[in-house]
């Protein structure tokens, strides 16, 4: 398996899509991160439902992985909402996405037997360190990041690493990355949406319905981004793809700066340079 230029560009595109839907969650006018997350999940469910007739069903060996992933994603959505409730996009997003590749690399060695080369290990380390450094940049006049935001982001990172390994294995076993991700996205959102409806009732349903446009756009971005990543993981080492995917943080930092007015500055530029050097190392 090799991380080719085509795969690299595809995963970078997935990173832009992923940053975009996270920014939509954070910037939603309702200000309720849990319901805004539910809106995105509902949108991705709708997109997956439309695509189901056009994709092949995954092989039977892949279904246990989808069940495990659905369980992990439930926790992922909860921790994502909590992280955005208590922290800025430009803090929580880099922290949760930047630490996940390191965990994936370690778990990939243990469970998949994918020992990275020296260049790949250096690239993963540079990308992760650059991303995490972006999270801890402070700007004059901005509030201090609460400890709770860091803890929720770290919890989310652990869940990202877990579902990444599960889904990479499942996609490889499925025989069809497109079928796997479409069925997964359709099925894994159902428990979360049912839980939201049971907890918030008709008010949640109205909120999601009133935000349908935003949810469909963000949901389509989420589905496309994860589909590209899982396709890449069937053709390249999981740890390298996982690290490359998290360059989405550069896009999120730019969006947070230009759209959400969260600041960027020289320190974040240094982190961005580290990420770029990490990408270069992955291609050595």
How many Å separate Cα 98 from the centre of its chain?
10
Q: What is the distance between the terminal CA atoms of the chain, rounded to a whole angstrom? A: 14
| Residue 59 scores a pLDDT above 90 | yes
Cβ neighbors of 199 (< 8 A, separation 6 or more) are none
More confident residue, 42 or 270: 42
| Residue 239 scores a pLDDT above 70 | yes
Q: 0.85 cut: is pTM over it? A: no
Q: What is the pLDDT confidence band of residue 140, given thresholds at 50, 70 and 90?
A: very low
Q: Is 87 helix (H, G, I), strand (E, B) or coil?
A: coil
Distance CA 244, CA 63 (A): 27
Q: Is 136 helix (H, G, I), strand (E, B) or coil?
A: coil
For residue 42 the two structure tokens come to 């509902």
Considering the chain, what percentage of its residues have pLDDT values greater than 90?
A: 33
Whether 189 and 44 have beta carbons less than 8 Å apart is answered as yes
Which domain covers residue 120, as residue numbers? 5-282
Distance CA 154, CA 14 (A): 22
| Residue 63 scores a pLDDT above 80 | yes
Tokens 């997109």 map to which residue?
47
| Residue 263 scores a pLDDT above 70 | no
How many Å separate Cα 68 from the centre of its chain?
17
Q: What is the pLDDT confidence band of residue 221, given thresholds at 50, 70 and 90?
A: very high
Q: What is the pLDDT confidence band of residue 95, given thresholds at 50, 70 and 90?
A: confident
Tokens 């004059």 map to which residue?
140
The number of domains in the chain is: 1
Q: What is the pLDDT confidence band of residue 186, given thresholds at 50, 70 and 90?
A: very high
| Mean pLDDT for the stretch of residues 258-279 | 66
| Residue 142 scores a pLDDT above 70 | no
| Residue 255 scores a pLDDT above 90 | no
């Amino acid at each position: 398996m090799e991380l080719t230029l085509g795969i690299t560009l595809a995963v970078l595109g997935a990173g832009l899509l992923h940053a975009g839907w996270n920014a939509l969650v954070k910037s939603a006018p309702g200000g309720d991160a849990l319901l805004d997350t539910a809106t995105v999940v509902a949108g991705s469910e709708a997109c997956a439902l439309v695509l189901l007739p056009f994709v092949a069903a995954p092989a039977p060996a892949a279904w246990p992985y989808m069940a495990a992933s659905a369980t992990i994603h439930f926790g992922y959505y909860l921790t994502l909402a909590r992280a955005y409730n208590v922290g800025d996009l430009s803090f929580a997003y880099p922290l949760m996405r930047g630490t996940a590749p390191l965990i994936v690399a370690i778990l990939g060695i243990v469970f998949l037997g994918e020992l990275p080369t020296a260049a790949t290990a250096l690239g993963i380390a540079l990308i992760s360190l650059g991303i995490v450094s972006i999270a801890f940049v402070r700007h004059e006049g901005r509030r201090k990041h609460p400890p709770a935001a860091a803890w929720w982001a770290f919890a989310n990172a652990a869940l990202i690493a877990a579902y990444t390994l599960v889904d990479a294995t499942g996609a490889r076993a499925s025989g069809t990355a497109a079928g796997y991700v479409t069925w997964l996205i359709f099925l894994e959102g159902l428990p979360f949406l049912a839980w939201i409806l049971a907890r918030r009732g008709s008010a949640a349903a109205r909120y999601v319905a009133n935000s349908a446009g935003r949810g469909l756009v963000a949901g389509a971005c989420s589905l496309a981004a994860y589909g590209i990543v899982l396709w890449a993981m069937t053709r390249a080492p999981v740890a390298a793809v996982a690290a490359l995917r998290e360059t989405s943080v550069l896009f999120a930092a730019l969006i947070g700066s230009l759209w959400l007015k969260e600041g960027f500055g020289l320190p974040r530029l240094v982190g961005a340079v580290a990420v770029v050097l990490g990408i270069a190392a992955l291609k050595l």
